[in-house]
């Protein structure tokens, strides 16, 4: 299906080019195929939802608007891609809000450990006023937030020994996403944080550059990190949403009707992604357990939570705008 979709698009583009050459489409709008950035492998909930978006976009506009998603981070690391989308060199992307903090300081509110009560709570918050406020802050930086995707909860996984209490983190080298807030999070637990690109984590775990990392079940599984880090500890310390973002420069060039369509498709793709996500989380957990990893449940998260006070204090000190956002999140049931 994907093949024939591409062939149709090539044909449509060829016909349009021919028509322009003959002068029959004098006012044809300039449009190059949109390039979409995605860090994940092709077989992943984010990837399937983004592909669906581009297929629908072409269908619904009879090939007038087309896109191609580049999976597997081939267009660059996440911090680089954020800049590329801001510049309009990449048209759209699904970004985790973790590495968004250095560009959009307000985004750090969702990066605070234990800020959300659950994944459902995160969705209720993001689909409401706080989501709008974050969207406005991102738009100021050239990123139009069209919909929120799910990324579950992140937990620690380690090579040598499991983590059950904050004491177990003392002295460990833990990979984090590119954001000082996460460095502070690991330091508050007594560990040493190493910010690093997603693509480098497997090798770093294998060669002992780091002792552990943290992520959700699907990423732990799809990257094969589980092959080298055999202890997964259910700390669920971070619940970070992901954003379907469009470059503001591209967005501003669209007609109001096209903007409406693109937003509606992005939102619909998010609904699809959330369903796929729920299923994949269970499947990934089952797959890595079947592959023999040790899952350490952490029923008492209070000691981890208590250790996070300095992280909150430092974050609010650096970005005072976070204080009302934290209150707004806490006021959502």
Residues near ligand BDP (CB under 6 A) are 39, 78, 96, 151, 177, 198, 215-216, 219, 242
Taking the complex as a whole, the smallest distance from the CB of residue 323 to ligand BDP amounts, in Å, to 27
In whole angstroms, what is the distance from residue 325 CA to residue 212 CA? 31
Taking the complex as a whole, the smallest distance from the CB of residue 105 to ligand BDP amounts, in Å, to 19
Closest CA relative to residue 106, chosen from 315, 247, 331, 333: 315
Which residue, 39 or 109, is less far from ligand BDP as judged by CB? 39
Taking the complex as a whole, the smallest distance from the CB of residue 80 to ligand BDP amounts, in Å, to 12
DSSP state of 241: -
Query: Are 236 and 281 contacting, i.e. CB atoms less than 8 angstroms apart?
Result: no
Could you give the dihedral angle defined by the CA atoms of residues 270, 272, 274 and 278, in that order, rounded to the nearest 10 degrees?
-170
In whole angstroms, what is the distance from residue 131 CA to residue 146 CA? 10
Which residue, 63 or 218, is less far from ligand BDP as judged by CB? 218
DSSP state of 314: H
Which residue, 152 or 166, is less far from ligand BDP as judged by CB? 152
Helix (H, G, I), strand (E, B) or coil at 269: helix
Which residue, 151 or 284, is less far from ligand BDP as judged by CB? 151
Query: Are 329 and 239 contacting, i.e. CB atoms less than 8 angstroms apart?
Result: no
Which residue, 94 or 322, is less far from ligand BDP as judged by CB? 94
Taking the complex as a whole, the smallest distance from the CB of residue 159 to ligand BDP amounts, in Å, to 17
Which residue, 155 or 219, is less far from ligand BDP as judged by CB? 219
In whole angstroms, what is the distance from residue 62 CA to residue 105 CA? 39
Which residue, 236 or 242, is less far from ligand BDP as judged by CB? 242
Query: Are 241 and 172 contacting, i.e. CB atoms less than 8 angstroms apart?
Result: no
Taking the complex as a whole, the smallest distance from the CB of residue 67 to ligand BDP amounts, in Å, to 19
Judging by beta carbons within 10 Å of its beta carbon (0-12, 13-18, 19+), is residue 22 exposed, middle or buried?
exposed
Taking the complex as a whole, the smallest distance from the CB of residue 23 to ligand BDP amounts, in Å, to 46
Taking the complex as a whole, the smallest distance from the CB of residue 154 to ligand BDP amounts, in Å, to 7
Taking the complex as a whole, the smallest distance from the CB of residue 97 to ligand BDP amounts, in Å, to 9
Q: ∠ CA 223-245-107 to the nearest 5 degrees?
A: 85
- The residues, any chain, with a CB within 8 Å of residue 1's CB and separated by 6 or more, are none
Residues in the chain, overall count: 333
CA neighbours within 13 Å on the CB side: how many for 115?
Answer: 27
Which residue, 211 or 242, is less far from ligand BDP as judged by CB? 242
Which residue, 78 or 235, is less far from ligand BDP as judged by CB? 78
Taking the complex as a whole, the smallest distance from the CB of residue 213 to ligand BDP amounts, in Å, to 7
Query: Are 214 and 222 contacting, i.e. CB atoms less than 8 angstroms apart?
Result: no
- The residues, any chain, with a CB within 8 Å of residue 234's CB and separated by 6 or more, are 155, 295, 296, 297, 298
């Amino acid at each position: 299906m994907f093949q024939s979709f591409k062939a149709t698009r090539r044909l449509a583009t060829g016909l349009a080019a021919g028509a322009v050459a003959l002068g029959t489409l004098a006012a044809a709008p300039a449009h190059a195929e949109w390039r979409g950035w995605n860090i994940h492998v092709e077989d992943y909930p984010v990837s399937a939802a983004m592909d669906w978006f581009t297929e629908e976009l072409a269908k619904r506009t009879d090939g007038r608007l087309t896109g191609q998603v580049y999976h597997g981070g081939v267009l660059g690391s996440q911090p680089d891609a954020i800049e590329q989308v801001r510049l309009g060199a990449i048209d759209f992307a699904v970004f985790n809000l973790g590495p968004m903090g250095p560009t959009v300081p307000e985004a750090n509110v969702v990066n605070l450990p234990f800020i959300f009560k659950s994944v459902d709570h995160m969705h209720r918050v993001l689909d409401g006023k706080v989501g709008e406020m974050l969207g406005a802050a991102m738009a100021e930086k050239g990123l139009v937030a069209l919909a929120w995707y799910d990324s579950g909860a992140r937990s620690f996984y380690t090579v040598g020994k499991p983590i059950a209490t904050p004491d177990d983190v003392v002295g460990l080298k833990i990979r984090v996403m590119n954001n000082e807030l996460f460095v502070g999070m690991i330091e508050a637990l007594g560990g040493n944080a190493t910010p690093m690109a997603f693509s480098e984590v497997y090798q770093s775990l294998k060669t002992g550059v780091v002792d552990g990392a943290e992520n959700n079940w699907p990423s732990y599984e799809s990257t094969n990190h589980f092959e080298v880090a055999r202890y997964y500890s259910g700390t669920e310390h971070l619940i970070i949403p992901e954003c379907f973002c469009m470059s503001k420069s591209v967005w501003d060039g669209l007609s109001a009707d096209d903007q409406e369509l693109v937003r509606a498709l992005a939102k619909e793709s998010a609904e699809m992604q959330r369903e796929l996500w729920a299923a994949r989380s269970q499947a990934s957990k089952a797959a890595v357990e079947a592959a023999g990893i040790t899952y350490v449940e952490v029923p008492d998260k209070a000691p981890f939570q208590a250790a996070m006070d300095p992280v909150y204090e430092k974050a609010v000190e650096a970005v005072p705008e976070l204080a009302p956002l934290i209150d707004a999140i806490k006021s959502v049931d």
